Chain A
Amino acid sequence: MNINWKWDMFFDAFPFILKGIGVTIGLTFACFLFALIFGFVWVLLRRIPIKPINWFITWIMEFIRSTPPLIQLFFIYYAWPMVPGVGASLSSFESAVLGLGIHFSTYIGEVYRSGIEGVEKGQWEASTALNFSTGQKWLKIILPQAIPPTIPMLGNYLIIMFKEVPLASTIGVVGILALADTYGTEHFRMLESYTIVAIIFLALSYPSAILINKLEKKMNRRFDKKAAIQD
């Protein structure tokens, strides 16, 4: 079997595809920021102490989490403008931020929740005893303790989102995958252009994963130490 690989194609396509990296990374961070903020909304909604509402929110989150982000993107991009009354036409970039952002906000919300549940009960009681208002309690006592331990987990989600972002090429966001498509169809060479996309993804996500892993170990040690002092 002869291998049909063309290096000249590879070097010709590389700079062309690399032009899309800004959009891909920009979209990743835009989605991530959206999910970080919207994750808090889920946390707040789930704390409403009325049973049916709580149940409803839980299932809405479950629905968003267990249906494909690809179809959610299509829904927002194609169907949302058609919905009478509330519908609005969004650009493909905006749709991608909204679609992927909402999808991952349900995961991020769970991360926040685990962080908040990890804060010791005594901290709540102490801040009540010290007569903190609800706002102060959250901003000064609970969140500063709840969020830092979740940072490695949030970092992992950033990498996961980076790898989901090429889905946005299906609704016309011109990142590296869409450019690879263009180059490939123009030159009838899908092989080199898709390989380049894979290499770019690997080159960015693998070192970040190692970095996050190191951070996680460092954080674990730090929080273990704190726990040890408390004991």
Chain B
Amino acid sequence: MTIHAIIDVFPVLMKGINITITVFLLSAIFGYLFAIIAGLCRLSHNLVVRGITSFYVEIFRGTSLIVQLFWLYYAIPMLFNVGIDNRLMAGVLAISLNYGAYMSEIVRGSILAVDKGQTEASIALNLSPFQRMRMVIFPQALRMMLPELGNYLIQMLKATSLVSLIGMTDILYHGNILRSTDLSAAPTVYLLLLLFYFIMALPLILLTRKGEQISKKGVAR
């Protein structure tokens, strides 16, 4: 692997960086959104709401992300006989629904882990159930979730590489094209891709460590 090879390969891969980052950011936003909604719904007293969310969580945790991605992209349009050909939507939905399901368990667990006395105290203070969750329970639960949610951020970043399989032109897609035209470039291409992902993951790794510190700070043990 020479410097020349890197100079040739680097700009080609960079063409896909926009797509990778877009997919990652959208997946993270929707993933957390689904996680919080599903986590709260699983604690609902309404049996129907709880049943539907449990169904969603178990389906998405029980199958592979790659299968879900293919299913959303190839099967759903066929099932309903519609011709939507939106790769970005399929990719983001697959990643966010999958990790949303995993993270909803963390949301649920953290909310359940908040001390019962907090609920009792807020009932005694005449807070409505919504106020109780928003102002007392959730902020405390959020702190407990931080390290795990940070870990899942890295998992979601890793998962964005899958969107090249449904034909999105992300960095891996461009890398694969380079490799198919010139196999001898393969080591440079894939090493650079791994480095790309690692550099993108670095701030997330540090963020997760920060999250761990925050979640430990000032908690009586």
Which residues of B are found within 8 Å of A191, using beta-carbon distances?
74-75, 78-79
Please tell me if A75 contacts chain B, counting CB pairs below 8 Å: yes
Verify A201–B62 contact, CB threshold 8 A. Answer: yes
Verify A67–B198 contact, CB threshold 8 A. Answer: yes
Verify A67–B74 contact, CB threshold 8 A. Answer: no
Minimal Cβ-Cβ distance residue in B for A205: B62
Binary CB contact string for chain B from 179 to 221 against chain A (1 if under 8 A, 0 otherwise): 1000110110111011001100100110000000000000000
Which residues of A are found within 8 Å of B134, using beta-carbon distances?
none
Verify B64–A79 contact, CB threshold 8 A. Answer: no
Which residues of B are found within 8 Å of A2, using beta-carbon distances?
81
CA distance A63 to B154 in the complex (A): 12
Please tell me if A167 contacts chain B, counting CB pairs below 8 Å: yes
CA distance A68 to B164 in the complex (A): 12
Please tell me if B119 contacts chain A, counting CB pairs below 8 Å: no
Minimal Cβ-Cβ distance residue in B for A4: B81
Verify A3–B80 contact, CB threshold 8 A. Answer: yes
Interface segment among A137-145, A192-200, A215-223: the answer is A192-200
Number of interface residues, chain A, beta carbon within 8 A: 43
Please tell me if B172 contacts chain A, counting CB pairs below 8 Å: yes
Verify B191–A66 contact, CB threshold 8 A. Answer: no
Please tell me if A151 contacts chain B, counting CB pairs below 8 Å: no
Please tell me if A53 contacts chain B, counting CB pairs below 8 Å: no
Verify A4–B197 contact, CB threshold 8 A. Answer: no
Instruction: Please report whether the interface of chain A is mostly helix, strand, loop or mixed according to DSSP.
Output: helix
Verify A74–B63 contact, CB threshold 8 A. Answer: no
Minimal Cβ-Cβ distance residue in A for B159: A68
CA distance A164 to B71 in the complex (A): 16
Contact of A78 among B65, B80, B179, B204 (CB under 8 A): B179
Which residues of A are found within 8 Å of B189, using beta-carbon distances?
79
Minimal Cβ-Cβ distance residue in A for B184: A82
CA distance A201 to B70 in the complex (A): 14
B181 to chain A, nearest CB (A): 13
Answer whether A189 and B78 are a contact pair too, CB < 8 Å, given A66-B158, A201-B62: yes
Please tell me if A163 contacts chain B, counting CB pairs below 8 Å: yes
Which residues of A are found within 8 Å of B175, using beta-carbon distances?
71, 74
CA distance A45 to B190 in the complex (A): 26
Verify A194–B71 contact, CB threshold 8 A. Answer: yes
Binary CB contact string for chain A from 61 to 73 against chain B (1 if under 8 A, 0 otherwise): 0110111111110
Contact of B190 among A75, A166, A205 (CB under 8 A): A75
Binary CB contact string for chain B from 84 to 125 against chain A (1 if under 8 A, 0 otherwise): 000000000000000000000000000000000000000000
Contact of A71 among B70, B81, B172, B201 (CB under 8 A): B172
10 sample A-B contacts, Cβ–Cβ < 8 Å, listed by A number: A1-B82, A4-B80, A66-B205, A67-B197, A74-B179, A78-B179, A80-B187, A164-B64, A177-B64, A197-B63
Residues of chain A at the chain B interface (Cβ within 8 Å): 1-5, 62-63, 65-72, 74-75, 78-80, 82-83, 163-167, 169-170, 177, 184, 189-191, 194-195, 197-198, 201-202, 205-206, 209
- 20 further A-B contacts with Cβ under 8 Å, apart from A66-B204, A167-B66, A194-B70, are A65-B154, A66-B154, A66-B157, A67-B194, A67-B201, A68-B159, A68-B161, A74-B172, A74-B190, A75-B186, A75-B187, A78-B183, A82-B187, A177-B66, A189-B78, A190-B74, A191-B78, A194-B74, A202-B62, A205-B63
